[in-house]
Amino acid sequence: MHTHKNKIPLIFIIKITYLLSSSVLYAQEKYYSINNWIEINSSQPIDKPQYTKSPTTKATGLNINFNKNSITGNIAFSYNNKRNIISDGSYIQKSSENISFGIGKIDRHWSFSNKTSLILSTNARPANTLYFKISDKKISPNTLFSIIGPWSLEIFNGDLSNSTNPKKPMLFGMRATINPLKNLEVEFLRTSQWGGAGYNNNLSAFKSIFIGDTNSGGNKNINQMAGFGYSYILPYPLLPVKLYGQYVGEDEAGALPSCFMTLNGVEIFNDYIRYPTSLGFELVDTTIDYTQHGFCGPNTAYNNNIYPYTNYDTVIGAPIDSESISIEIFGSTKLSEVINLKYSVKKININRSNSPNHRLTTINSFGTKSSVSLTWKWNKLSISTAILNQDFKLDTANIHDGVGFSFSSTMQF
């Protein structure tokens, strides 16, 4: 990781934003928007994107969004107390009806859970990817395709950056969703780590990703994860209940995933009371037992003897990383048209097998993390504050126990 000793004053970024926004506001045809933001964290919580190993984070930046004809994109700049200016979130995309393709550093959250994804989350910094998306929100008149209902497909390939070998490996991902019933959505997911220094980056390796031939031969170095998920809303109009889950296998057996991690959750919505409220429960389990033939076992999740499942040394999947469990009760309440309250209590057990090589902690760590946040939105200004308490330490990740706070604001021009 590179560091930068020169500090860029916040006033500099604000001035740049003002100059750019002024030219946009007085343009005859406005197809740009600019967001200027700042974020301050007094501590580094476990489920906050880990852009730095420092226990405190101060960051500022701006985003310039544009949409002209069939071209959309975002130019992003951010800077914090431990890094150079970075461009995470920048992309450019070409769209035509229901098909899009583009290039950029896009945060992806592949899950029906709004909290967690086992296979691809925003926990780590995004990879720089080429991607393709296609969707059909209507039911096909073709009898065969009408069974699956509205559907979507996203495919990408990008490069990862880690301090470990091999250098510059690639990450391939594919997610398909279908909507076979009115209240039921199903997802099928797959990622593959391949290539990098010393390994094949050729068409033969890319072909092996598609046909699943990665357990033997010249492309047996490829590391694949795959699984499925669902979301089902029970048909109770006065009190909707959403059930969801995700199940991802770390190993391959007979061209199918095995050695599963699991995510299960339920969320209840009530919009008919004075303060509309949602409450939820979610269980995430990345512990994996030995299979009948002795495969997998403790610390299998997100670990491979060639490719760690990380970008910038931070896990791409669930923030609790390998061999861990979290149980969370969470909710949100709309206090007014402009004020929203969120709250959460989470029991977490990290590194249950006491592995000294765990990315978060060298010992079994157990405790509670609780948080309360308040967001206020008025016109184009958004301000969020949060208080959190964590009663356990994670030594490798330099995450401390105690009370912390965070503040963030965004202004759109």
Cis before 166? omega within 30: yes
Predicted local distance difference test score (pLDDT) of residue 18: 42
Structure tokens at 368: 């509670």
CA–CA dist 224, 110 (Å, integer): 16
265 bridge partner residues: 244, 282
Is residue 28 predicted with pLDDT exceeding 60?
Answer: no
User: Stretch 242-250: mean pLDDT, rounded?
Assistant: 95
Tell me 24's DSSP state: H
CA–CA dist 354, 364 (Å, integer): 5
- Which of 99-103, 267-271, 364-368 bottoms out in mean pLDDT, i.e. has the lowest? 267-271
Residue 12: phi and psi, rounded to 5, are: -65, -45
Is residue 142 predicted with pLDDT exceeding 50?
Answer: yes
Is residue 92 predicted with pLDDT exceeding 80?
Answer: yes
> CA separation (Å) from 370 to 92, 239, 262, 343, 345?
38, 26, 22, 8, 4
Q: What angle do CA 130, 112, 311 make, to 5 degrees?
A: 40
Structure tokens at 43: 């501590």
Query: Which is more confidently placed, 20 or 146?
Result: 146
CA–CA dist 223, 210 (Å, integer): 13
Nearest to 385 by CA among 409, 402, 403: 409
CA–CA dist 343, 335 (Å, integer): 13
Predicted local distance difference test score (pLDDT) of residue 201: 85
Q: To which residue do tokens 């970075």 refer?
A: 86
Q: How many CB atoms lie within 10 A of CB 152?
A: 17
Predicted local distance difference test score (pLDDT) of residue 216: 62
- Residue pLDDT, tens place only, 167-191: 999 999 999 999 999 899 999 999 9
Query: Which is more confidently placed, 60 or 29?
Result: 60
Nearest to 135 by CA among 92, 167, 178: 178
User: Stretch 51-57: mean pLDDT, rounded?
Assistant: 51
Confidence label for 7 from pLDDT (cuts 50, 70 and 90): very low
Confidence label for 252 from pLDDT (cuts 50, 70 and 90): low
Is residue 202 predicted with pLDDT exceeding 80?
Answer: yes
Is residue 53 predicted with pLDDT exceeding 60?
Answer: no
407 bridge partner residues: 40, 385
Confidence label for 140 from pLDDT (cuts 50, 70 and 90): low
Query: DSSP readout, 313-332?
Result: TEESS-TT-SS-EEEEEEEE
Is residue 49 predicted with pLDDT exceeding 90?
Answer: no
Query: Which is more confidently placed, 29 or 235?
Result: 235
Q: In this structure, what is the dihedral angle of CA atoms 327, 248, 313, 224, given to the nearest 10 degrees?
A: 170
Query: Which is more confidently placed, 386 or 27?
Result: 386
The half-sphere exposure of 110 on its side-chain side, counting CA atoms within 13 A, is: 29
Query: DSSP readout, 339-356?
Result: EEEEEEEEEEEE-TT--T
Q: With H, G, I as helix, E, B as strand and everything else as coil, classify residue 237.
A: coil
User: Stretch 213-225: mean pLDDT, rounded?
Assistant: 76
CA–CA dist 258, 226 (Å, integer): 9
Predicted local distance difference test score (pLDDT) of residue 205: 83
Within 165-316, strands assigned E span 170-181, 184-194, 223-234, 241-253, 256-270, 277-285, 310-311, 314-315
Is residue 69 predicted with pLDDT exceeding 90?
Answer: no
Residue 218: phi and psi, rounded to 5, are: -70, -15
Predicted local distance difference test score (pLDDT) of residue 267: 97
Predicted local distance difference test score (pLDDT) of residue 327: 98
Predicted local distance difference test score (pLDDT) of residue 144: 66
Percent of the chain whose predicted confidence (pLDDT) is above 70: 83
User: Stretch 292-297: mean pLDDT, rounded?
Assistant: 74
Is residue 374 predicted with pLDDT exceeding 60?
Answer: yes
Q: Provide the mean pLDDT of the chain.
A: 85
Predicted local distance difference test score (pLDDT) of residue 311: 94
Predicted local distance difference test score (pLDDT) of residue 233: 94
Residues whose CB is less than 8 angstroms from the CB of residue 248 and which lie 6 or more positions away in sequence, other chains included: 118, 119, 189, 225, 226, 227, 257, 260, 261, 317
CA–CA dist 61, 38 (Å, integer): 7
Is residue 230 predicted with pLDDT exceeding 50?
Answer: yes
- Residue 46, burial from CB neighbour count under 10 angstroms (0-12, 13-18, 19+): buried
- Residue pLDDT, tens place only, 8-25: 444 444 444 444 443 333
Predicted local distance difference test score (pLDDT) of residue 25: 37
Query: Which is more confidently placed, 148 or 236?
Result: 148
Confidence label for 148 from pLDDT (cuts 50, 70 and 90): confident
Element at 23 (helix H, strand E): helix 10-25
Is residue 104 predicted with pLDDT exceeding 90?
Answer: yes
Query: Which is more confidently placed, 200 or 255?
Result: 200
- Which of 7-11, 251-255, 337-341 bottoms out in mean pLDDT, i.e. has the lowest? 7-11
Say if residues 204 and 218 touch (Cβ distance below 8 Å): yes
Predicted local distance difference test score (pLDDT) of residue 3: 38
Say if residues 394 and 360 touch (Cβ distance below 8 Å): yes
Is residue 351 predicted with pLDDT exceeding 70?
Answer: yes
Predicted local distance difference test score (pLDDT) of residue 103: 97
